[in-house]
Amino acid sequence: MRPRSATRSPAFPRTESAMGTDAISLSVAEFRGFAVRVFEALGMAPEHADLMAAQITWAHVRGYPWLGAKKIIQYGTRIQKGAAATHGDLELVAEAGGLLAFDAGNSFSQVTGVQAMQAAIEKARSTGVCVAVVRNTSNASALGYFPNLAIEQRMIGAAINNSPPLMAPWGSREKIIGNQAFAWGSPAGRHDPIIFDTALSEMTLVAMHGYEARGESLPEGVALDAQGAPTTDPTAALAGILLPMGQHRGSGLAVIWEILTGILAGGERFLTDVTMPDVFDKPQGTSMFHLAINPEIVMPYDQFLARVDDMIDRLHASPTVKGVEQVRVPGEMAARRAREAQTSGMTLAPEMYAQLAEFAKPLGVRWE
C-alpha cells in the first residue's frame, strides 16, 4: 500500500520541519517493516534488522526524525562502505559481581548495545544493580531507548554514549571532548515512564541548523568559531566548537562520562579518536555505559510505582510561571506523540520519503 499525503497533525509538532500539507502519512508498522527490509537486504540477520528498525522507529514516532528515518540511510551507507559490521556478536571480556564488559566488534549499538543492556537487566534481577560497558560500537542515536528497555522489565535504567570531539572543556578553545549523550529512565504507575535523554552542549547541532535555516543569530555563550572566538553566527558555530551547558558543570560531566565509556570500557578510541557517524571510511569506535537498577530489592514494585506517581502528581500540581500551562516531566510529550502515531499514523517529509525510496531501490526494497 502506498502511503497517502496528509495534513500534518498537531500531535506531531517536531516530527519534520516545514512539512506543510504535503507530508506523507503512513502507519508505524509500514515504516518499521520498510526499515527491517532495508537492513535485511544489507546483510543483517532478520532478528538484528528488527532491532535496528525498532530503535529507529521508537525515535521517529516520539518526534525526533533526525534520530529516526534519516538514520536508515546513514547506517545503511556505513554498512555499504564497510565502516560498520552487520553481525550481532557481543563478546564478553570481563565479568565480576554486578559489572560486565563487552566488545561489540564494530557492530551497531542498536544491536549489541541492546544485548548489553538486556544482560545488565538480567544480572540486576539478583544483584540489584548491574553496569555493562561496551567498547568498539557505534553512535547510539536515541539514547533513551536503552533505559526504556529496563523500564519494560520493571527497572530503572541509564545509558551513556561517548561521542566524537565536538566540544571544548570549559576554559579551553580546543574541540577535544565529546558532546556525550546520556539518558535515565524510571517506570511509573498511572503516568508515562520518565525518560530524560539529553547531551552536554549548551545547544545541539540540530538546533544550530535550525537557526541557520531561519537566518537567525545564536544566543551568546553557546559556541566558538573554528579559531576559538565566541560567535553568534550559526554557520561559524557549525564549523566551530560547541560549549558545554552550565559552563564548568557540563564540562565536568563530559569528563566523567568519558571515563565511564571510552576509558572504562577499554575502547580503542576516546576523546579525539572517536569519529562522526557520517564518516564512512573508518569505524566510529564509540563506547557505551549501561546501568540497570532493580527497585524490588528495596521495596515492593507497586510501592515504588506509587511513590513515582506521587512525585509526578506533585510536580504537575506545582504553580507555573506566566505562559506555562503545566509542569511536565521528562519524556511526557514524547510518549504522547508516540501514542498518537500508533493510533493515527506517522509522517515523513516528502523529501525524506523520496530519499529513502531512492536508497532502498538498488537493494530491491520498496514502500508497500
pLDDT of residue 158: 99
pTM for the model: 0.91
**CA 202 to CA 222: how far, in whole Å?**
5
3-state secondary structure of 96: strand
Separation CA 332–CA 233 (nearest Å): 33
Query: Three-class SS of residue 182?
Result: strand
Res. 187: pLDDT tops 50: yes
pLDDT of residue 12: 28
- Strands (E) across 112-257 are located at 129-137, 156-161, 165-167, 177-178, 181-186, 194-198, 223-224, 241-242
CATH number of 23-81+331-367: 1.10.1530.10
**Residue range 186-200: average pLDDT?**
97
Residue 268 confidence (pLDDT) above 80: no
Query: Looking at this protein, which amino acid is placed at residue 205?
Result: L
C-alpha cell at 148: 526504556
The position carrying cell 549501561 is: 290
CB 185, CB 151: distance < 8 Å: yes
What CATH number has the domain spanning 202-243? 3.30.60.50
Note the pLDDT of residue 61. 97
Cβ neighbourhood burial of 195 (10 Å; 0-12, 13-18, 19+) = buried
| Highest averaged pLDDT of the listed ranges 22-31, 169-178, 301-310 | 301-310
**HSE-CB of 355 using CA atoms within 13 angstroms:** 13
Closest to 50 measured CA to CA, from 62, 35, 29, 60: 35
CB atoms within 10 A of CB 78: 25
Q: Quote helix, strand, coil % in the chain, to nearest 5.
A: 40, 20, 40
The helix/strand count (H/E) of the chain reads as 11, 14
The residue extents of the domains of the chain are 23-81+331-367, 88-199+245-328, 202-243
- Please spell the DSSP secondary structure of 83-118, one letter per residue: SS------EEEEEETTEEEEE-TT--IIIIIHHHHH
**Confidence check: pLDDT of 87 > 90:** yes
Mean pLDDT of the chain: 92
Q: What is the Cα–Cα distance from 33 to 49, expressed in whole angstroms?
A: 10
Residue 7 predicted with pLDDT over 80? no
Name the residue among 117, 32, 97, 42 with its Cα closest to residue 74.
Answer: 42
Contact of 133 with 208, CB cutoff 8 Å: no
| Residues forming beta bridges with residue 288, ordered by sequence position | 134, 161
Query: Where does 88-199+245-328 sit in CATH, by number?
Result: 3.30.1370.60
How many angstroms separate the Cα of 81 from the Cα of each of 77, 262, 324? 6, 24, 48
Q: How many Cα neighbours within 13 Å face the side chain of 81?
A: 15
- Structure confidence at residue 273 (pLDDT): 84
Beta-bridge partner residues of 132: 100, 290
How much is the average pLDDT of 337-363? 96
- In whole angstroms, give the CA distance from residue 118 to residue 311: 28
Average pLDDT over residues 195-223: 94
Q: What's the one-letter identity of residue 146? A: F
Q: Is residue 211 predicted with pLDDT exceeding 80? A: yes
* Least confident span in 21-25, 138-142, 210-214: 21-25
For the CA atoms of 86, 89, 93, 98, what is the dihedral angle to 10 degrees? 110
Angle between helix axes 69-80 and 350-360 (nearest 10 degrees) is 30
Q: Encode burial over 170-182: b for 16+ CB neighbours within 10 A, e otherwise.
A: eeebebebbbbbb
Place of cell 540477520: 45
pLDDT band at 368 (very low <50, low <70, confident <90, very high): confident
